[in-house]
Amino acid sequence: MAGKTGAATTRARANGTRAAATKEQTTFTEHTPHGRLTAQRGLYAGPSPVVSKDLYAEVREGVVTRKRGSLSLEPSARVSGNTYFGRFPASYWQRWTTVREVQVELVATGAGLIAVRASDYEGEPRTVAAQELQGASKQAVTFTAKLDKFLDGGALWLDLETEAGQQLTVEQVRWTVAPPEQVRPTAVTICTMNRADDCLQNLQALAGDISSLDTLDAIYVADQGTDRVDSRDGFAQVEKDLGGKLHYITQPNLGGAGGFTRGLYEVAGHTETEHANVLFMDDDVLLEPDLVVRMTAFSNLAANPIIVGGQMLNLLHPHQLHVGAEYARLNTLEPGMPVEHSLSTANLLGVDEETGKPNRQERRVDAGYNGWWSCLIPYEVVRETGYPMPFFFQWDDAEYSYRARAHGFPTVTLPGAGVWHADFHWKDWDEWHRYFNLRNSIITAALHSEFNLTVLCRVLMAQLVRYLLGMQYGLTHTLIKAVEDFLEGPEILRDGGVAAMKEIREIRARYPETKRYDPTEVPGIASNDIGIINSPGRPALQRVVLVKRIIDRLRGRNRFGLGAIPTDEASWWHVALFDTAVVTDASQEGVRVRKYDRDRMLDLGKRGIRVLNRLRKEGRGVQEQYKRAMPELTSRENWKRLYEL
């Protein structure tokens, strides 16, 4: 591949810490294209047996053999590529790129019908091109489809069909586009922290497909843990398989923000072109390597530099799409809001209950930001926008996208570019990371919203009351600490969040309900004494019930002494009826014991009111401090200091 001056695994010590000191590095330069650019491949089985092949191709009739790179139809069979991974997102290509036609190239053997079909923004199908084959033997077949009727929505896909007595095999299916004059070099950056096996598995997935990842120049692994990836038996082999593309870096734990930013830092320091890409990727995802092909091709042909986001599918339910595109309500601290018309927690193998049509992202939607489970950032964005905020983690992705948008770089979430990530709703909210979620959301609101302090304080007060009624005293303290540290101003970010992480963990350790127990080994409570007491449901008059629950709590009155509560019924109006509630953890791996403590409730309530009054009075001045400090906080020099280089 052009532009190489050599690459090597980087392992070094600097100032007594794990840090990077490069011996040889990839120098990023643009490549001269050789032939058409592959925009996506026709794949018909996933990277793991846990993934349904129906996400790649749906058998409508007959016997069909689906392999990773080929489809074989027996007589009287029909198969459709109108699936999550089978569709070419024509609407997005027409809107955001300079491409106006795409070619479908394949190799066919046998007899049957091959058709290119399309949908519109309402999901209505039409046939774009079709060809009948007879007696084909490794015959090259090419279709051309114009990208001219998809502006509001729609996609392209392949359908195959055989009649009685016919057999048909297709392979080497490629969706290709005319290449740009120069192809951008791309570096994948994986941030990892004590998930060595997961990270190694994804490196192996990339290595297994490396021959198809033409635009991928380098892979940076920023290892911030003590259980290191290079300690695994398979590391040396995957390093060899990646052919010198791997750069393994150890560094202090600076959270996801510090791990991902390291890739931006390294590429910016070794690029000879402004037209380079950095593709962030989580360490614990199940990777579809074609994501690299799809996202990098899209970026290469974009009319203007844009952030390209990949979609998240739920790992525990691999047929579910987390969200088609999302945005954040900044002033009310609400991330992950589904954009209008986007799919949300959608069964990709099912149908829409209202229309009866398959769950497909037909309408093109604009994203506010994209999670960093997979997100491609062009170097031009870094040059104009700066580096991410040293948030440690949580809201770093949203803050960066909204800042980039203010500089003229929108975020596009690309359908069909997906990875499987642990389902969010199986993660309990009452954890130490809630501190970073709250603190960083307030900072982001201060930087990129109207920052209406009346609304913000009302939102935080509502959370405070719910946590106290739900006997989540550690979570209440977490909220208070987050607001207090926001009011400390930008100095709280000077160490990248290391001290805050340690402190919030120490604070939360003082609260018994933050600990998780085996359901049969709850301290001080006999297992047989814990019976489920279900919630009657959401009250019709919530404000009236809220006042009643507050009065009862202040008087120390409760309806139930002890009971178990399922996680989906652990709302404040129900938990507030108990003296002791054994609540199922959202992970379903154990329980939390919440016990009424009037003194703690009153103390935390008073502290919460005081800090929210401070926020209302001091917030505007603190907002200006963060705005003034942002250029320095997001500078290359600040990150160099944090990396101890």
Q: Which residues contact 244 (CB under 8 A, 6 or more apart)?
A: 4, 6, 7, 8
Among 284, 397, 430, 585, which one carries the catalytic annotation? Answer: 397
Q: Which two tokens stand for residue 534?
A: 């279900």
Q: What is the largest CA-CA distance in the chain?
A: 85
Q: Which residues contact 423 (CB under 8 A, 6 or more apart)?
A: 314, 315, 316, 317, 320, 322
Active site residue 54: no
Q: Which two tokens stand for residue 437?
A: 């979620």
Query: CA-CA distance, 443 to 446, in Å (whole number)?
Result: 5
Rounded to 5°, the CA angle 353-320-287 comes to: 155
The 3-class secondary structure across 183-217, one letter per residue, is ECCEEEEEEECCCHHHHHHHHHHHHHCHHHCCCEE
With beta carbons less than 8 A apart as the criterion, state whether 595 and 512 touch.
yes
Q: Which residues contact 80 (CB under 8 A, 6 or more apart)?
A: 57, 58, 60, 86, 157, 159, 160
Half-sphere exposure of 575 (CA within 13 A, CB side): 26
With beta carbons less than 8 A apart as the criterion, state whether 210 and 292 touch.
no
Query: CA-CA distance, 491 to 206, in Å (whole number)?
Result: 39
Q: Which of 565, 559, 575, 569 is CA-nearest to residue 530? A: 565
Q: Which of 506, 523, 520 is CA-nearest to residue 593? A: 523
Q: Which residues are catalytic?
A: 397
